[in-house]
Amino acid sequence: MVKDHILVWNNCLNVIRKSIDSKLFKTWFEPITPVQLAKDALTIQVPNSFFYEMLEEHYVDILKKAIKSELGSNGSLEYQIKVENHKKITHNNTVSATKTSVQGDDIKMINPFVIPGIKKVKVDAQLNPSYTFNAFVNGECNRFPLSAGLAIAKKPGGTSFNPLMIYGDVGLGKTHLSQAIGNAVVSNDSKHQVLYLTTEKFTSQVIQAIKNNSIDDFMHFYQMIDVLIIDDIQFLSNRPKTQEIFFNIFNHLHQSGKQIILTSDRSPKDLTDVDERLISRFKWGLVADLKTPDFETRLRILDKKLEKEEMTLPTEIKEYICTHIRNNIREIEGVVISLVAQSTLNRTEIDMKLAKSIIKQFVSPVDKEVSVDNIKILVAKHFNIPVDELQSKTRLRDIVVARQLSMYLAKNYTNSSLKSIGASFGGRDHSTVLHSLKMVRDLMDTDQTFKDKVNYLVKKVQSTLVNG
């Protein structure tokens, strides 16, 4: 006699009913609907993923007993999660990683457990596979957060860098670095549940979960993640309910030894309208900033982009691009893509004229160059000291700081070598310039007033580039 799915499930219910309290049976088993029976696999439909998790956590043994009694030792169980139309977004964001196939209002989860064991649902990490450590260009501007990221990738949740908060201006590689960590974790151990998403997406999920009265289900899902990567956490600002829910998720993950990685366009202390309890927790681990890449690093980034596009450029064109595109790595990529497109469509070689016309789309005009002498005049005026003092041997603190800052700006905003920069400041050697660069960076890390001063002068130099 061939059994049908309804008969098999009704017989299973008879077994289950004898094993648990009637109220629990009514709560957790009466809402289940049998869907189909294929060979020795029975498919049942449950109202939501929270239902599935509860059955997996509390009633596996009972289900195994029931299935075995009806289908024998080779019997297995599969789930479909019922998703109403207005809930699709929420569940697509939570269980889509199982490579589910959406049919009508159902999301099918293949073999969440198979007798006698359990197969855990695998979450789609939502990672860009091209964002890897190998594709991330190492430089002085990012060495510290990169080192932390490499350590986390080897031992997620097991280092003192938890949470890791990476902050910096737009286009400096925060998303790339955070996802590179996630990709490395998955590569090292595919069993880890890794999830990347933006704060905006997380917020929309919270809103949807509140509308659907499924916050418990939502929280339960996030609490099972091993490595949670949230991009642009500054957008939690002025969202008290989302902050409250994220606070609870954060606490659960951190207490469970799970890894949390956050990115922001500013440091925790500069976040506005964010709960102080959250800001405090962001500081528990490591807060690391991505700085603007120097000229050499920008050149290496450009070379990496060119290698990806399988193209080469003359040195003078590469240097011209990196002289004018300074603060946004994405713009370097945009220039490369535009050059490739123009060259291919117009069937012309890439020359300096074409490079200049492309770069004008990003920085306009570009004919004005910044020299070491320009920077000396700018800094001397700001510090209210004679320009000649920057080249003198005096060790007066204000003049030393002004000299070091001038060298820092010259290194980042001109094509001059370390040797030529040192020579223009009274015949100093390249080691003195390197020391000055380090002193400026260290002061920026520890003295906010000094950092504000540097940022002000940087904007003045950039203004000179743009306005001529």
Domain 5-118 part of CATH 3.30.300.180: yes
Statement: residue 407 has pLDDT above 60? yes
Topology at the third CATH level for domain 295-359:
Helicase, Ruva Protein; domain 3 (1.10.8)
Is residue 115 scored above 50 in pLDDT? no
Amino acid residing at 113: F
- Phi-psi group of 310: left, alpha or beta (phi > 0 → left; psi -120 to 50 → alpha; rest → beta): left
Q: What is the pLDDT of residue 148?
A: 93
pLDDT score for 393: 87
97 pLDDT band, cuts 50/70/90, is very low
286 versus 80: which is more confidently predicted? 286
| Alpha carbon distance 194, 261 (integer Å) | 11
Interacting residues of 105 by C-beta distance below 8 A, sequence separation 6+? 82, 83, 84, 85, 88
| CA-based nearest residue to 188, from 150, 240, 223, 214 | 150
Segment 105-110 mean pLDDT:
39
Q: pLDDT band for position 112 (50/70/90)?
A: very low
**For residue 165, what is the enclosing H or E element?**
strand 164-167
- Interatomic CA distance for residues 143 and 146, integer angstroms: 5
Mean pLDDT comparison of 100-104, 280-284, 296-300, highest-scoring range: 280-284
The answer to whether residue 193 scores a pLDDT higher than 60 is yes
| Residues 274-295 pLDDT 10s | 999 999 999 999 999 888 887 7
Same fold, 5-118 and 372-467: no
DSSP 343-400: HHHHT----HHHHHHHHTTTSS---PPP-HHHHHHHHHHHHT--GGGGGS----HHHH
Band of residue 250 on the pLDDT scale cut at 50, 70, 90 = very high
379-401 tens-digit pLDDT: 988 899 988 889 888 888 889 99
- Please give the pLDDT value at position 352: 83
User: Does the 143-289 domain belong in CATH 1.10.10.10?
Assistant: no
The yes-or-no verdict on residue 257 having pLDDT over 60 is yes
CA 376 to CA 457: how far, in whole Å?
Answer: 11
Express each pLDDT in 317-376 by its tens digit: 888 888 777 767 778 878 888 887 877 777 777 888 888 888 877 764 444 467 788 898
Q: Which CATH number fits domain 372-467: 3.30.430.20, 3.40.50.1260, 1.10.1750.10, 1.10.15.40?
A: 1.10.1750.10
Classify residue 322 as exposed, middle or buried by CB count within 10 Å of its CB (0-12, 13-18, 19+). buried
**Helix, coil or strand: residue 196:** strand
Angle at 294 between CA 291 and CA 295, to 5 degrees: 155
Site of tokens 């005096």: 394
> Domain locations in the chain?
5-118, 143-289, 295-359, 372-467
Residue 416: closest CA among 388, 375, 385: 375
Amino acid letter, 163 = P
54 vs 196 pLDDT, higher one: 196
Query: What is the structure's pLDDT at 72?
Result: 86
In angstroms, the CA 448 to CA 464 distance is 24
